[in-house]
Amino acid sequence: MAEAPLLRLIDVAKRFKGARRGAAGTQALDGISLTLLPGHSLGLVGPDAGGKTTLMRILAGLVEADSGSVEVMGRPVAELDRSLIGYMPQGGALYGELTVLQNLELYARLRGLEPQDNPERMDVLYRATGLGPFKDRAANRLSGGMRQKLALACAVVAAPPLMLLDEPSVGVDPVSRREIWDLAQELAGPGSAIVWTTSILDDAGKCDDAILLHHGKVLYDGPPAELAERAAGRTFAMPLPASNRRDALQAVLERPDVISATMSGRTLRAVCRAKSAPGAQWKPAQPTAEDGFSAILDDGTPLPPSALAAAFPLRTADPARPAIAALGLTRRYGDFIAAQDIAFTVFPGEIFGLLGPNGAGKSTTFRMLCGLTTPSSGYGTVAGRELTSAGAQAREAMGYMPQKFSLYGDLSVLANLRFVAGAYGLRGVEARQAIDRAVAALDLGAFTASMAGLLPLGIKQRLALGAAVLHTPPVLFLDEPTSGVDPLTRREFWHHINAIAARGTAVLVTTHFMDEAENCDRLLLINRSQAIASGTPDDLKRAVLDNPDPTLEQAFITLIEAQGRIESEAA
């Protein structure tokens, strides 16, 4: 007898009204059909605003479909006991002022589970997440990875048969991403099914099946491994030149016959529109899931030169005057050291990357250099100005994109950009031109009237980047700029960032995507508040002794694990 599906959708559609009277509506879902069996996992991928979160909210019973059939465990979703669904929304749904213990116990009771009556389940949650030692810590004081683990534990506290996880690994480092996937498997109930939305194709690759949504339609439905085949015969690679690596990438990205390109180790890869190589030096390469994603979504439009970068003045480097300098930066919170003796310099035209696991001290270092956190010792300079004595002048010289979306959620996209332009001293025609440039370059035209707080995560990131570069600053701080952004948009972001750096702007960036970190001229790896490695991407890769051409992600994991072993042996 065939196994009954936990989920069955037939021809589901959902349309939302326009953001204002007279505005065109949005077809969020258009004829979606799928089934999901017990014990199986489904990865939902697609561009920003493709319909993934709308579909998840319909599955959770939070949004009603306009038409079609939605059955969960053999019953209409409207009739379902919601305690049988573990729903983790984008960004989690934690109470920041409550402790880890209070959040978990609150969600347990909401699911009809009394914590004192089920100590075994609570012990499993604490052990699996590693949050046992932090029971009394407020959720808003946890690192990004720890918050995601707590949000996942709260969603599945009652071991539900259906787990709906919307971007559970967004904003976390490669090690934590693996841990969150393993955690979801461990915390699932017997025969539980998982729906996992993600902008990271590696995560979707761990699922039994994958669906690619775009403009509310299914463009791919099948095994994740076969997604790569959509780029078969159109993926090529060539050795990267020893110098001007970013220039080589930029030149390939702007070719009309190329869909996307990326650096991987010592290799430059490209997905082409036809089954012909971009040149004689290019050789056929094995396609990846990201390559297949790019091929499916290709609209035939070449990537134009960056309009954002074109507005930046051409700046020259002075070797005697770094644009950013960190000199022994240290930050203590009582007995806890968040960052210790961090030192580096960034020169005009350079992209400098801060890498490290969640909670390592990257964002603390970042915030000290931005003047948002006062160092306990040491100091930093931006554009030649020391932050503690000339903070206002230093901040005028920088553009800042924080890790957490911090624009006004109850203002429209256009109102936010106008406010930021005014804050940076842009007025009249100059302000209008800067806003129009950002809207066009970052494809925000369809969202200008939308409230910023209601935007999909990837669209919020586009808005935040646009706001940070409106005044074409000489120094740019980008804290996780592509967190939650789909692969094609990530490459477009870096197309802008690389071009801005080429104009002489200094860029300090943090990222958890190691393929993105290949764009950096130099890197600093921070773990447990200390700098443990620095140098070019190739310098860090030399830590991987058993691989002649390792990835930066392999180097990241190797260096983090090596430090852990050294500290364990010392203890």
Per-chain mean pLDDT for the chain: 89
Question: How far apart (Å, rounded) are the C-alpha atoms in residues 97 and 104?
Answer: 13
For residues 458 and 435, the answer to whether their CB atoms sit within 8 Å is: no
Query: What pLDDT is recorded for position 264?
Result: 79
- Read off the pLDDT band of 81 (50, 70, 90): confident
pLDDT tens column, 156-167: 888 889 999 999
Q: Residue 43 pLDDT > 90, yes or no? A: yes
DSSP state of 99: B
Average pLDDT over every residue of 399-407? 88
Tell how strand 235-239 and strand 267-272 pair up.
antiparallel
pLDDT tens column, 533-562: 999 998 999 888 888 878 888 899 889 888
Buried (b) or exposed (e) across 209-242, using 16+ Cβ within 10 A? bbbbbbebebbbeeebeebbebbeebbbbbebee
Query: What pLDDT is recorded for position 394?
Result: 67
Q: Residue 569 pLDDT > 80, yes or no? A: no
- Read off the pLDDT band of 412 (50, 70, 90): very high
- One fold for 7-226 and 308-397+473-570: yes
How many CA atoms lie less than 13 Å away from 361 in the CB half-sphere?
A: 24
pLDDT higher at 337 or 393:
337
Q: Residue 506 pLDDT > 90, yes or no? A: yes
Query: What pLDDT is recorded for position 22?
Result: 60
Question: How far apart (Å, rounded) are the C-alpha atoms in residues 93 and 89?
Answer: 7
Q: Residue 49 pLDDT > 90, yes or no? A: no
Classify the C-alpha dihedral 512-513-516-521 as positive or negative. positive
Classify the C-alpha dihedral 103-106-111-112 as positive or negative. positive
Q: Where are the domains of the chain?
A: 7-226, 233-286, 308-397+473-570
Q: Nearest 5°: CA angle at 19, between 10 and 71?
A: 15
Longest CA span, the chain: 76
- Angle at which helix 100-110 crosses helix 144-155, to 10 degrees, equals 20
pLDDT tens column, 492-503: 999 999 999 999
Query: What pLDDT is recorded for position 239?
Result: 92
CB atoms under 10 Å from CB of 395, counted, come to 19
The total number of residues written for the chain in this structure: 571
- Read off the pLDDT band of 1 (50, 70, 90): very low
Question: How far apart (Å, rounded) are the C-alpha atoms in residues 32 and 185?
Answer: 26
Q: Residue 352 forms beta bridges with which residues?
A: 508, 522
pTM of structure: 0.89
Amino acid at residue number 146? M
- Read off the pLDDT band of 179 (50, 70, 90): confident
For residue 240, give the nearest of 229, 231, 232, 251 by alpha carbon.
Answer: 251
- Read off the pLDDT band of 139 (50, 70, 90): very high
Cα–Cα distance list, 269 to 358, 414, 490 (Å): 29, 37, 15
Place of tokens 């929304």: 89
Question: How far apart (Å, rounded) are the C-alpha atoms in residues 287 and 103?
Answer: 43
Question: How far apart (Å, rounded) are the C-alpha atoms in residues 76 and 99?
Answer: 36
pLDDT higher at 458 or 345:
345
For residues 15 and 215, the answer to whether their CB atoms sit within 8 Å is: no
Question: How far apart (Å, rounded) are the C-alpha atoms in residues 384 and 431?
Answer: 27
For residues 298 and 231, the answer to whether their CB atoms sit within 8 Å is: no
pLDDT higher at 512 or 393:
512
Query: What pLDDT is recorded for position 269?
Result: 94
Average pLDDT over every residue of 366-389? 86
Average pLDDT over every residue of 427-435? 95
Out of 3.40.50.150, 3.20.20.60, 3.90.1170.50, 3.40.50.300, which CATH number does the structure's domain 7-226 have?
A: 3.40.50.300
Q: How far is CA 452 from the centre of its chain?
A: 18
pLDDT higher at 22 or 236:
236
Query: What pLDDT is recorded for position 439?
Result: 96
Place of tokens 């053999």: 74
pLDDT tens column, 53-74: 999 999 999 999 999 999 998 8
Query: What pLDDT is recorded for position 517?
Result: 92
Question: How far apart (Å, rounded) are the C-alpha atoms in residues 74 and 4?
Answer: 8
308-397+473-570: CATH number: 3.40.50.300
Q: Residue 228 pLDDT > 90, yes or no? A: yes
Tell me the two tokens of residue 529: 């508040």
Question: How far apart (Å, rounded) are the C-alpha atoms in residues 198 and 51?
Answer: 12
Q: Nearest 5°: CA angle at 524, between 519 and 529?
A: 140
For residues 530 and 341, the answer to whether their CB atoms sit within 8 Å is: yes
